[in-house]
Amino acid sequence: MKKLITLTLFTTAAFAVSAQFTYHEWTFDDPVGTLLEEAANTGDPGTAAWNAGLTHTTDGAGNYLIGNGDISLGYKSANIGPYAGTLTYEIEIDSWDLDNVETFRNIEIQLRDAENASDVVKVQVNQQGSGNVRFRVSDNAGLTNFVFPDYGTLSSVSQTTYVISIQLNTNTGEWETKVNDGPVQASGVATVGSLNVIRFVVGNNPYGTGDDFFKVSRLSLFSTEAAPAAGWFGYDIEADNWVNTGAWLGWVNITNDPWIYLDDLADYIYLPDGQAADAGAWLYVIN
């Protein structure tokens, strides 16, 4: 067992969204009949791939069509890969027609800590028994099904495009939700944990054989920072954040990155992002 000398750093992080990097995005400009797991991911790195589980398909007109006679329920999950900064998970809904009332039909987007089976934050588009539709949000810090104050009683038939977003500061756990980039509808502080998955959910009651539907025209995951490369400078990260860099630096621990603990020195070096290149690296050693 390697002994790690603990370095304590105190930082502050504000909740703000500035630059936008598109990690993963599905715009559903695919041929008619394309399953979600087959739809093109045009993001960068764009490596997230949905698992199987739903039989809904694209309509050939830029939408992922939920319902319209397809009764499959369940969820799709995709591993999001390395990330940094404030994440924004968005769903763009082109339209819906739910006039054949069936209580609690809904679709959801979730930022999920799959290792701990916890939805960090999720937003649901939910049909009530009256037929009306509402938007609501939950998190893993105790908030349950909070209804967006400006979107509590929408019609069962809509031709309005709604872009619903969850913004999550992955450093602090602060989150907020918006619709069409309007006022904040809800906010809170969740436990980020081992956030590693996005989900898309179809529930709770089927759409029968009728023509009721949701049309989803986009799913996107953005961030305020570019996606970091997998591993640490190309080396695999092992248990407890130890990395074997071989002849370069030997065994290092990156728990307090950019302060890097070198096992051979039994001390820390300072190696911020951008300091290393193929020709070598500038680093700072504590005297």
Residues 268, 126: one domain? no
Count the domains in the chain.
2
Answer yes or no: do 178 and 244 share one domain.
no
CATH number (domain holding residue 197): 2.60.120.200
Co-location of 161 and 107 in the same domain: yes
* Residue 264 belongs to domain spanning: 239-285
The predicted-structure confidence for 44-80, as pLDDT tens digits, reads as follows 989 899 998 899 999 999 999 998 888 888 999 998 9
49 located within any domain: yes
In a domain, 40, yes or no: yes
In a domain, 35, yes or no: yes
Instruction: Let me know: does 217 contact 93? Beta carbons within 8 Å.
Output: yes
Q: List 109's β-bridge partners, or say none.
A: 123, 200
Which residue has 């399953």 as its token pair? 35
Confidence of residue 159 (pLDDT cuts 50, 70, 90): very high
Whether residue 234 lies inside any domain: the answer is no
In a domain, 179, yes or no: yes
- Do 216 and 281 belong together in one domain? no
At 47 the three-state DSSP class reads coil
pTM of the model as a whole: 0.76
Residues 175, 195: Cα–Cα separation, whole Å: 14
Which pLDDT score, from 0 to 100, does residue 275 have? Answer: 61
Same structural domain, 164 and 244: no
The token pair at 241 is 């954040």
Residue with tokens 């700072």: 284
Residue 208 lies in a domain: yes
Q: Is residue 2 part of a domain?
A: no
Same domain, yes or no, for 271 and 146? no
Residues 210 and 136 in one domain: yes
Residues 218 and 268 in one domain: no
Tell me, yes or no, whether 150 and 68 share the same domain.
yes
pLDDT band at 103 (very low <50, low <70, confident <90, very high): low
pLDDT score of 92 more than 90: yes
